[in-house]
Amino acid sequence: MQSDTPASAEQITHLNPQPTLGALRGQAWLTVQTRQAQRLIRGRNGSEEKPAIVGLVGFADRLRLIWQAARNDDPYADWWLIRIHEAIEQARELVSRSQSEIDEKLAQSPAIEVRVAASLRPYRIPLQFANPYAYQGAHLIGEYDTLMRTLLSGCHVGLLDRASTEQAVQLGGRRIRGVFVLPQGYRFLGIDRASVRRQDEKAQRAQALMGDLPPAVLSGERQAPQVPRKLNFPEGYRKAATQASLQPALGPDSPHGEK
């Protein structure tokens, strides 16, 4: 004989245990359609004739180090994240302004409808980055790619002259390359805020290599919009974790040393 008494929440949970959720997984891709944008992804190795150009790949790799150092409470890493954020915003503003100007010019010719050119074989690359600023760099390339397609289309139909087109192409590319090279100025020295406040040997070396740290950054009052969660380990654990993952720059021969 069945009871009419409703089962309690505890009984329901016991009879129907909740399955354990798995980790979230996602995928992002960057698709570009111009050679100008494609070159910004890989960059260029240096040679005797031409200097190296840091692309999105090198930008993201160096950012990974800065992001981890910021997690370990390195105030210089926090400062670099602020500078990188501001540089990305300025570059996006430049690209957006150029895009608006060319869109307006194309709209001034109502008799001719211009369809922006598209590649018959776009270049598509998967993105697997460890921090949001690397993805913002990819967004920046995507916006620049759209601008390049619009500029080249306008030049092709005679609405833009070649000189102004080349100027816009070079200006946008130069600004983005300036963003991507910015993380190269950071030096990992295994410091944290306590080290900087003590002005120990590592802090003095950081100041010599990277300049004076703004007080608002040291205090934590000024931060980038996107920052990693800080790790607050005891001193012994912090030291062991640093030795296991990141090694400070000791000199020119170190992979993260002076250049």
Per-residue pLDDT of the chain (259 residues; tens, 9 = 90+): 555 555 555 554 555 556 788 877 778 999 999 999 999 998 888 777 788 889 999 999 999 999 999 999 999 999 999 999 999 999 999 999 999 999 988 888 777 788 888 899 999 999 999 899 999 999 999 999 999 999 999 898 888 889 988 998 999 999 999 999 999 999 999 999 999 999 999 999 999 999 999 999 999 999 999 999 876 644 544 454 444 444 444 443 444 444 3
pTM for the model: 0.79
- Determine the pLDDT at residue 17: 59
Tokens (6 digits) for 41: 């992804």
Q: How far apart are CA 56 and CA 88, in angstroms?
A: 12
Whether 242 is in a domain gets the answer: no
- Determine the pLDDT at residue 45: 82
Whether 100 is in a domain gets the answer: yes
* Cβ atoms of residues 148 and 39 within 8 Å: no
Whether 146 is in a domain gets the answer: yes
- Determine the pLDDT at residue 258: 40
Spell out a b/e string for 33-50, using b for 16 or more CB atoms within 10 Å of the CB, else e.
bbebbbbbbebeeeeeee
Whether 204 is in a domain gets the answer: yes
Residue 153 structural domain: 29-236
Whether 8 is in a domain gets the answer: no
Domain total for the chain? 1
Whether 22 is in a domain gets the answer: no
* Cβ atoms of residues 196 and 38 within 8 Å: no
Whether 251 is in a domain gets the answer: no
127, containing H or E segment = strand 123-127
Whether 46 is in a domain gets the answer: yes
